[in-house]
Amino acid sequence: MLQRRTVPWVCVLLLGLTGLPASGSDFQHHRYEDMVRVLFAVHSDCPYITRIYSIGRSVEGRHLYVLEFSDNPGIHEALEPEFKYVGNMHGNEVLGRELLIKLSQFLCEEYRAGNQRITRLIHDTRIHILPSMNPDGYEVAARQGSELNGYLVGRGNSRDIDLNRNFPDLNSLMYYYEKTNGRNHHLPLPDNWEQQVEPETLAVIKWMQNYNFVLSANLHGGAVVANYPFDKSRDARIRGRTTYSATADDKIFRQLARTYSYAHSWMHLGWNCGDFFNEGITNGASWYSLSKGMQDFNYLYTNCFEITLELSCDKFPPESSLPREWLGNREALISYLEQVHHGIKGMVYDENNNPISKAEIVVAGINHDVTTGVDGDYFRLLLPGTYTVKASAPGYLSSSKTVTVGPAEAIQLHFYLKKAPKQNLKGKHHHGKKNISANKASLKLGPR
């Protein structure tokens, strides 16, 4: 975000799990070939719960590999949420990359060891880990080395484009819609958007289009804070400062950020890297305004809620610090992942029990809707409380229900939508074209 890296068998886990030692090989920085080798080694060790796939290639042709964990790899199971971690978006911010490599090893080893918490997580969640979104930039930064790495060397891709300023700008459209009671989710992309973004950005957007992600985090470096949307300010700078820009889901975003911060060994203390962030969290725009960022794009274009995790003062920390960083982040990475199972989830069916895709789920009082996936399932992150929830789809009568959400697992709330009766226009011709037009107008859907 700001312009802005295995000791053997380290110690007993603090995860409240099984007391097993932390995983595998020595901690080190992984160049591209080494990273790929580790990902395939994890897949080889846990072939029945992992899958490796590429979402595309970098400018220089390196695959953007994702390691998936699931009890049914490669398959979306209805009512099982999709989660993603993305690291190394800025090539010279490398701690996230190493943490995600280590997390991959950890999940595999703990699953094999029978760790109940990890086993349940993998059985109930489809987890996607992209350790490096910018492998070309990483190679530039790594060639210079951690001791000499500059603030910007390797930050962008091989064309020196900052990938976190490269997504279509949907904030401006959203801020306009807010004033006109317009659409509040899945905003349309601009014409020729594919020609306006870098190959790495294009690959990630296509990835988002192919998977119905529910929750995500983007791992950066250069500060220690959990940053949540919006990143782009609604207002111009006032006396050199930008102002807090809240989403309709500001309360849940604050809670998501706090989940990571308080599970982290020191982020929640607030004082880090010469800066102070209360509770170790910040709204992006109140920190500084950023346009065309990935976390805002997730929220405005997909069903996914994403935050940005700044994890180290040093963008390219020395290898000697990696064991401490892993132990400091390990519980936070797991705790944040578990948040995907809160709120409500369910199916939307028609009268014949056929699932309805792209149905809209509206929560009264929260001006941001989500939609069902291709299998007719939906996931809506919510804080504990009582809510009125409505499901609607073109050609169907909407249905509303009241639900009370607790602090534990997501409440299942299913909807069955009846076909809307067709408007009978016969016998209306004698009223003339004007009345027929008015009749048709009455059939139009509202601003949502």
Going from the N-terminus, what domains does the chain have, and what CATH number goes with each? 32-341 (3.40.630.10), 343-419 (2.60.40.1120)
Q: Report whether pLDDT(107) > 50.
A: yes
Find the catalytic residue in 310, 325, 331, 338: 310
Residue 362 has, within 13 A of its CA and on its CB side, a CA count of 15
Task: Write down the pLDDT at residue 275.
Answer: 92
Which of residues 403 and 7 earns the better pLDDT score?
403
Q: Which amino acid would we find at residue 280?
A: G
Do the Cβ atoms of 65 and 53 come closer than 8 Å?
Answer: yes
For residue 364, the model assigns a pLDDT of: 98
Using an 8 Å Cβ cutoff, are 158 and 58 in contact? yes
In single-letter form, the type of residue at position 76 comes to H
DSSP of 332-369? HHHHHHHGGG-SEEEEEEETTS-B-TT-EEEETT----
Tokens 């534990």 — which residue?
Answer: 408
Angle ∠(358,361,365) on CA atoms, nearest 5: 150
Residue 220: which pLDDT band, with cuts at 50, 70 and 90?
very high
Contact between residue 284 and residue 231 where contact means Cβ atoms under 8 Å apart: yes
Burial 252-275, CB ≥16 within 10 A → b, else e:
bbbbbbbbbbbbbeebbebebbee
**pLDDT band, residue 97 (cuts 50/70/90):** very high
Tokens 């299998």 correspond to: 375
CB 106 within 8 A of CB 23: yes
Q: What is the predicted pLDDT for the residue at 238? A: 66
Please, which pLDDT band fits residue 13 given cuts at 50, 70 and 90? very low
Strands 126-130 and 63-69: antiparallel
pLDDT value at position 73? Answer: 98
Q: In the annotation, is 310 catalytic?
A: yes
- Is residue 52 packed enough to be buried (19+ CB in 10 Å), middle (13-18) or exposed (0-12)? middle
- For residue 157, is pLDDT > 50? yes
